[in-house]
Amino acid sequence: MKKKIVLSLLLLGLITGAGTWYYVFVYSANHHRSAAEEKTIDIAATQLVTEYQTNESASNAKYLNKALKIVGEVSEVKKDQEGKTTVTIKSNDAFANVFCTLQSPSATSPTVGSKICLKGFCTGFLSDVVIKDAIVVTE
């Protein structure tokens, strides 16, 4: 009887481990949200930062984990630790901007001072409004 219980628990553990492995390494790697395919909320970078600075909890309810289409002026273009391109879009406040991580390198690299339009997913407000998995779009 004890042998059956131990074997059953071992089998259950193996099935759980295999399911977890599949979800983490296979399913989630192939099932991403795409900002290009989702309906977006159109907003200027300056307005987005102002709303977050005024009322962060209301802005989270409105924008968090939603696809946004953001328009503004590029203030900085860099690479992060993973080698992905990051674009900082200016706001009216020198200490708070919109920080976007591009999903993949765009065909034309954004230049500082140029106007840009990005679609991406809002992940909240730190000192900047953070956008992930962004793509550059033409207006």
In SS3 terms, the chain reads as CHHHHHHHHHHHHHHHHHHHHHHHHHHHHHCCCCCCCCCCEEEEHHHHHHHHHHCHHHHHHHHCCCEEEEEEEEEEEEECCCCCEEEEECCCCCCCCEEEEECCCCCCCCCCCCEEEEEEEEEEECCCEEEEEEEECCC
Query: Does residue 36 fall inside a structural domain?
Result: no
Residue 12 falls within a domain, yes or no? Answer: yes
Is 95 inside a domain boundary?
A: yes
The CATH number assigned to the domain holding 86 equals 2.40.50.140
- Listed as ranges, residues in the chain with pLDDT below 50 are none
pLDDT at 106: 66
Q: What is the pLDDT of residue 105?
A: 72
Do both 58 and 80 map to the same domain? yes
**Which domain, by its residues, includes 46?**
41-136
